[in-house]
């Protein structure tokens, strides 16, 4: 039986506690939150979302958090940060800002995908990007996702889908998150992997790295 994981809950305080209970009811076994010291029946994955303005800020953030949290996500707001994040092995997840009218968007283009594929970086889609929008904005988001997904798949970059929920009403059941990929013509099994196997592998890999005795991939002090 599949275990589902939502790696990106963005709420705080009481809302987060409500969301954790709801996430459990919806069928998630693990959830990722960007706050430390959260207690729940679910397996909590510690995560940090970095939004650096330049390469130096990115390096500082990675140095500070790499040994402290299980998952590091970088939102690339400009091309220099995007390229550096794609090259850096300390980054786990990259994401890009939404489309904004009149602004050139940084996205997972061919060059970015090429760099990311060599660094074991995962690309994340947020379901919340589709909510609260009119038809035109939604169609633009889906169009951008289509282009990014095609680049990611061409370069074998793992893709995950998270809710990105800020409230209980933005949470969706795991199979609904997976079915979102039907909009991008992804097979059902592959889509389900994006909310189960792929994020689980990422978390397990990082937990092994943070565990005692880890030296480098395949090497461990026994």
Residues contributing to the site for other proteins (CB under 8 A): 26, 127, 130-132, 135, 138, 167-173, 175-177, 179-180, 182-183, 188
Pick 132 or 213: Cβ nearer other proteins: 132
- The torsion angle over the Cα atoms of residues 115, 119, 120 and 123, rounded to 10 degrees, is -40
- Closest listed residue to residue 48, CA positions, set 17, 29, 31, 70: 70
Q: CB of 180: closest distance to other proteins in angstroms? A: 5
Q: CB of 93: closest distance to other proteins in angstroms? A: 22
The backbone torsions φ and ψ at residue 162, rounded to the nearest 5 degrees and listed phi first, read: -125, 165
**Helices and strands (DSSP H and E) totals, the chain:** 8, 9
Q: CB of 6: closest distance to other proteins in angstroms? A: 13
Pick 3 or 22: Cβ nearer other proteins: 22
Pick 132 or 211: Cβ nearer other proteins: 132
Token pair belonging to 79: 């091309």
Number of residues in the chain: 222
- Pairing of β 219-220 and β 214-216: antiparallel
Q: CB of 41: closest distance to other proteins in angstroms? A: 19
Token pair belonging to 184: 């991008």
Pick 55 or 168: Cβ nearer other proteins: 168
Q: CB of 15: closest distance to other proteins in angstroms? A: 13
Pick 42 or 178: Cβ nearer other proteins: 178
């Amino acid at each position: 039986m599949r275990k589902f994981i939502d790696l990106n809950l963005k709420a705080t305080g009481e809302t987060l506690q409500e969301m954790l209970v709801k996430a459990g009811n919806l069928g998630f076994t693990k959830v990722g939150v960007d706050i430390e010291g959260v207690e729940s029946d679910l397996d909590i994955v510690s995560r940090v979302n970095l939004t650096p303005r330049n390469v130096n800020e990115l390096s500082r953030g990675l140095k500070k958090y790499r040994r402290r949290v299980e998952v590091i996500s970088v939102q690339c707001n400009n091309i220099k940060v995007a390229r550096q994040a794609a090259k850096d092995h300390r980054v786990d997840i990259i994401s890009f800002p939404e489309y904004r009218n009149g602004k050139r968007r940084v996205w997972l283009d061919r060059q970015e995908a090429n760099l990311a594929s060599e660094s074991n970086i995962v690309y994340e889609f947020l379901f919340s990007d589709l909510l609260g929008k009119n038809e035109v904005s939604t169609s633009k988001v889906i169009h951008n996702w289509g282009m990014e997904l095609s680049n990611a798949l061409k370069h074998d970059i793992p893709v995950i889908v998270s809710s990105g929920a800020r409230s209980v009403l933005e949470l969706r059941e795991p199979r609904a998150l997976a079915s979102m990929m039907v909009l991008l013509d992804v097979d059902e099994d592959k889509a389900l992997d994006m909310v189960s196997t792929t994020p689980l592998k990422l978390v397990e890999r990082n937990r092994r790295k943070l565990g005692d005795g880890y030296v480098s991939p395949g090497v461990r002090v026994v």
